[in-house]
Homo-oligomer: A and B are copies of this chain.
Amino acid sequence: MPHIIIEYSANLRDALDPASLVEATHRAAAQTGAFQPDAIRTRAVQRDVYRVADGKPNRAFVHVVLRMRPGREPEMKQAIGQAVFEALCTELAPAFDAYRLGLTFELQEIDTRFRFMKDTPTARQIGAVSAGKQEGKEGKS
């Protein structure tokens, strides 16, 4: 259940489209093949009150966190990170040109021992339930 959270300083609003940024980042994560595409949840949030470095108006930031289950090899994590980072750089090219933009991107791992999940059952799962075959999806995983 990877989560991607994008924060951006409000001055970037004229140099980026938040929905496009979300879509490009989301798609890049999906295209790594490392995740169940169904599981990715990406969002962007604008920061209206902020200060970057010396506070000059052309200073801007984008900060992105990707949280995912632990256990992947470092090489795989690097590959995931690099792919998503390149998509961010491409999407943010106009913002890098128009502002003194600092982009940071972190991969973080979730402690799945203490993580709980539930999804709306799909039609297929509901069918299986009717047939008495579904295993519980609710609970820790």
Instruction: Mark A residues whose CB is within 8 Å of B.
Output: 1, 3, 7, 9, 18-19, 22-23, 26, 37-45, 47, 49-55, 61, 63, 74, 77-78, 81-82, 85, 89, 96-97, 99-108, 110-111, 113-120, 122, 138, 140
Tell whether, in the assembled complex, residue A105 and residue B100 are in contact, meaning their CB atoms are under 8 Å apart: no
- In the assembled complex, the Cα of A16 lies from the Cα of B114 at a distance in Å of 25
Nearest B-chain residue to A85, judged by Cβ: B116
Whether A51 and B22, one on each chain, are in contact in the complex, defined by CB atoms closer than 8 angstroms, is yes
Q: Taking CB as reference atom, which chain B residue is nearest A7?
A: B43
- Give the chain B neighbours of A110 by CB distance below 8 A: 106
Tell me if B106 and A119 are in contact (CB < 8 A): no
